[in-house]
Amino acid sequence: METTLRGVGVSHGVAIGEVRHMGTAVLEPPAKQIPSEEAPREQGRARQAVEAVAADLMARGNLAGGEAQAVLEAQAMMAQDPELMADVERRIAVGSTAERAVYDAFAAYRALLAGAGEYLAGRVADLDDVRNRIVARLLGVPMPGVPDSDQPYVLIARDLAPADTALLDPTLVLGFVTEEGGPTSHSAILARALGVPAVVALPGASELVEGTLIAVDGSTGEIFVSPTAEKQTELARAAEERKAALAASSGPGATSDGHKVPLLANIGGPADVAAAVEAGAEGVGLFRTEFLFLDDSTKAPSEEKQIEAYRQVLEAFPEGRVVVRVLDAGADKPLDFLTPADEPNPALGVRGLRTLLDHPDVLRTQLTALAKAAAGLPVYLEVMAPMVADRTDAKAFADACREAGLRAKFGAMVEIPSAALRARSILQEVEFLSLGTNDLAQYTFAADRQVGAVSRLQDPWQPALLDLVAASADAAQAEGKSCGVCGEAASDPLLACVLTGLGVTSLSMGSAAIPYVRATLAKHTLAQCERAAAAARAADTAEDARVAAQAVLSGE
């Protein structure tokens, strides 16, 4: 009998296949005591396992590239954390085995992070994966992971570790469904990069029976269990229609009546450029520069290293627009040489621009490197600061850009409600705004973007969030300046139409989503988009907003 479940669709497409479950978690090692003379040997085993796991994570990152590489390199740094290793060795010295010491040391660190109010929930999940890999190596058992199968399947998991998601084989894994996670979790972001249909935050996903046939709609978040032949045909037909629309769509982003909406790519480094170019991106709307700073958490990369990386990206978009976000350190992206280790609430503490203003030498080096990388190139370089709260922040950033001799447009990210509410004030100091809808939702609803239990409040269709987008876009229009969206909201084709109707002037997204958004925009006029936006803002819930916008755009 066919039944329908609903989670959060995070990666477009339809997948129909049999359920295969992720391997179970590593068992807790026994708590047995060892003689003191065995401690040095056990400490050596622990060090070797840690180094082996860190090397494996780095290797996986190098293979995957892009977003995945930055995530996996951060995990490798977790494995090698000197404080954690010191705790492991201390526990071994008082009688624990290597595997038990690792298990307990990571548990203590996990409890510490969780005690900070789950603001680091995403990092906790990654920490668990690192622990499991080290313990599995010490126990001599295979690391639980993606099932071994010769036939394509739909992968079901409580959550997916970045190391597993990054190297999924799309020819075998038709799509995946997770019980936890949210629309901006690592799993969701990497799924979009892979182009694999995915649904997250589905209650009871782990209870789906192995071998059951299911259909996954990554656009709507619907899961059809034991779908009828008619339902399968309907979904397959819809998927073919989407493919045909994508194939017929090319060129710059625009509505059917010619209103231009530049479609840009979010990238995490040079490795993401090829996919952006192939997707027809008109430039880069969000160039995340954190990847350069993850190689060594003890010091910033040299000016020369930064110039080389920036130039690779800038050269790929001659005559195009490239928007670079300066380093966004802090919260779930800590760096030893920049961010305090004892902040009680890092997500609300010193992060983003606040961190850089506390370390002006790091900001100056990055801005100087960007200026030198762009020298002589016909690219339209724009540089923006993360976590701008008010006009004072915006002025400090603009002043730093000018002092570094940067010939580019200076902008501010709108990720804090205060920036949206006072956008006209901020635009007295900078030339453009870029809405980071992921963090803007997090701070608007006090809902951690990595916690599946509050994923409904991370839904970018929330009318309150649309109100803040509208306020920012209205302010930019009044000042004769631009206001783009670079959060994951832009990757939803239907929502892209609504954002256009709200007055957003450009959309930036993961490269895989660009063809879907281009094709959908091309079906509707600007007036239709404006009516859909008004209908969505008049709703009381995210679901009602989505339904209302869909009704307008489908002519119902």
H-assigned helices in 115-228: 121-139, 162-166, 186-194
At 265, is the secondary structure helix, strand, or coil? Answer: strand
Residue 118's pLDDT is: 40
Catalytic residue, candidates 401, 483, 486, 529: 486
Q: Half-sphere exposure of 171 toward its Cβ, with a 13 Å CA cutoff?
A: 1
Q: Which residues pair with 432 in a beta bridge?
A: 411, 482
Residue 168's pLDDT is: 77
- Answer yes or no: 524 catalytic: no
Return the closest-CA partner of residue 198 out of 457, 455, 14, 458.
14
Residue 477's pLDDT is: 98
- Answer yes or no: 529 catalytic: no
Residue 116's pLDDT is: 44
Joined together, the tokens standing for residue 341 give: 């280790």
Per-residue pLDDT 10s for the chain (556 aa) are 788 999 988 888 899 999 998 876 666 888 889 999 999 999 999 999 999 998 888 887 777 666 677 778 778 888 888 888 999 999 999 999 999 999 999 888 877 665 544 434 456 667 788 898 899 889 887 676 778 777 899 999 888 777 777 667 878 899 999 988 776 666 777 777 777 899 998 988 989 999 999 999 988 889 999 999 999 999 888 878 777 777 777 889 999 999 999 999 999 888 889 889 988 999 999 999 988 887 666 788 999 999 999 999 999 999 899 999 999 987 656 677 777 766 777 778 888 999 999 999 999 999 999 999 999 999 999 999 999 999 999 999 999 999 999 999 999 999 999 999 999 999 999 999 999 998 999 999 998 766 657 778 888 999 999 999 999 999 999 999 999 999 878 988 999 999 999 999 999 998 888 998 999 999 999 999 999 999 999 999 998 999 999 999 988 6
Decide: 535 and 552 in contact? Cβ < 8 Å.
yes
Decide: 19 and 179 in contact? Cβ < 8 Å.
no
Round to whole Å and give the CA distance between 217 and 8: 10
Residue 22's pLDDT is: 84
Catalytic residue, candidates 186, 483, 524, 529: 186
Burial label for 167, CB within 10 Å (0-12, 13-18, 19+), is middle
Non-local (6+) Cβ contacts of 368 within 8 A are 303, 404, 405, 406
